[in-house]
Amino acid sequence: MKRNFVLCGSLGWCLEVFWTGLHSLLNGHPTMMGQTSLLMFPIYGCAAVISPLYHRLASIPIVIRGCLYTVGIFITEFLTGSILKHFGICPWDYSHTPFHYKGVIRLDYAPVWFVTGLLFEKILSKLS
């Protein structure tokens, strides 16, 4: 589990840098600067729970699994974002977007979390 925690934390960092770099490009910045926060590592590391969950969910259709991962990611993002926001150290703020909830989750990211959950599932199932 410790190895998967480190893998998920690292993969999450890489995906976030890629995602924010892509947003930078789409916003007219050809430097494609991506960014993340050290605080994100343990949050992304929590995705390590997908590995043991996958073994229980493997017989469930992929669409249902993707939806379950999406809900799990939203819950994790909301709880961690709310705690970090309480201490004034939340590295993200979605309050300027139309589909946010309390500034810590974006409902329009549901397809991104759906794919991300399945991606983590695929990677972690290959390693176990």
Determine the pLDDT at residue 60. Answer: 94
- pLDDT tens per residue, range 6-20: 999 999 999 999 999
pLDDT for res 105: 97
**pTM listed for this prediction:** 0.88
Q: Per-residue pLDDT for 123 more than 90?
A: no
* Alpha carbons 127 and 7: distance in angstroms, whole number: 10
Output the CA torsion sign for 113, 65, 69, 45: negative
Q: Roughly what angle, to the nearest 10 degrees, separates helices 50-57 and 62-86? A: 150
Question: What confidence category does residue 31 fall into, taking pLDDT thresholds of 50, 70 and 90?
Answer: very high
Q: Name the amino acid, one letter, at 84.
A: L
pLDDT at 47: 87
CB atoms within 10 A of CB 19: 16
Structure tokens at 27: 């916003």
Q: What phi and psi, each to the nearest 5 degrees, are found at residue 100?
A: -90, 160
Q: What is the dihedral of CA 44, 88, 110, 76, to 10 degrees?
A: 50
**pLDDT-derived band at 128, boundaries 50, 70, 90:** low
Percent of the chain at pLDDT > 90 equals 79
Residue 16 DSSP label? H
Give the pLDDT confidence of 48-102 residue by residue, as tens digits: 888 888 888 889 999 999 999 999 999 999 999 999 999 999 999 999 999 999 9
1 pLDDT more than 80: no
